[in-house]
Amino acid sequence: MEIGLGEIVMIGILAVLLLEPKDLPRIAKKSARAYMGLRGFMKTNWLALAEGETGEDGAHKPAAKG
Whole-angstrom distance, CA of residue 62 vs CA of residue 52? 11
Residue 63 has pLDDT above 60, yes or no: no
Q: What pLDDT is recorded for position 7?
A: 84
More confident call, 35 vs 3: 35
Q: What pLDDT is recorded for position 55?
A: 59
Count CA within 13 A, CB hemisphere, residue 55: 7
User: Tell me, what amino acid is at 59?
Assistant: A
Q: What pLDDT is recorded for position 38?
A: 80
Handedness of CA 50, 54, 58, 62 (dihedral sign): negative
pLDDT in tens, 9-61: 888 877 777 777 777 777 778 888 888 888 887 777 777 777 776 556 555 55
Whole-angstrom distance, CA of residue 23 vs CA of residue 39? 24
